[in-house]
Amino acid sequence: QVQLQESGPGLVKPSETLSLTCTVSGGSIRSYCWSWIRQPPGKGLEWIGFIFYSESADYNPSLKSRVTISIDTSKNQFSVKLSSVTAADTAVYYCVRSKGNSYGYPFDDWGQGTLVTVSS
């Protein structure tokens, strides 16, 4: 089973850019669809966007103007950047794999998640 591990700063200042990386081990990133999902404390799940190894990506329209997802197949990693953050972006951020090679599959492998707090 593939393992996913998020890494990045746990504290980001308002108006700055949140940057996280997901390292995939136990399998190649050159298959499947890779997503970022977030969960504000005590709330539900929000899909941020996904990327394929081809670098084709799609984003949630609610975040599209602020988010970029990228992939580095040589390092088996994919990343998310969210600009102009506010307190509303405080959440646990998960990197996730879809069960197949398109977004038309459920999410079957999740990282443990990393809490990012936006505060000055």
Partner 1 sequence: DIVMTQSPDSLAVSLGERATINCKSSQSVLYSSNNMTYLAWYQQKPGQPPKLLIYWASTRESGVPDRFSGSGSGTDFTLTISSLQAEDVAVYYCQQYFTTPLSFGGGTKVEIK
Q: Counting contacts by CB under 8 A, is residue 41 touching partner 1? A: no
- Measure CA of the first residue to CA of the last residue in the chain; give whole Å: 39
Q: Least distance in Å: CB of 45 to partner 1?
A: 4
Q: Which of 92, 87, 7, 5 is nearest to 48 (CA)?
A: 92
* 2 counts as binding partner 1 under rule CB under 8 A: no
Q: How many CB atoms lie within 10 A of CB 17?
A: 13
- CB nearer partner 1, residue 14 or residue 115: 115
The CB-of-11 to partner 1 minimum distance in angstroms stands at: 20
Among 46, 68, 73, 83, binds partner 1 (CB under 8 A): 46
Helix (H) or strand (E) holding 22: strand 18-25
Residue 67 vs 85, nearer CB to partner 1: 67
Residue 49 burial by Cβ neighbours in a 10 Å radius (0-12, 13-18, 19+):
buried
111 binds partner 1 (CB under 8 A): yes
Q: What is the DSSP letter of 73?
A: T
Q: What is the largest CA-CA distance in the chain?
A: 40
Interface with partner 1 in residues 81-110 (CB under 8 A): 94, 98-99, 103-108, 110
Residues making contact with partner 1 (CB under 8 A):
35, 44-47, 50, 58, 60-62, 94, 98-99, 103-108, 110-113
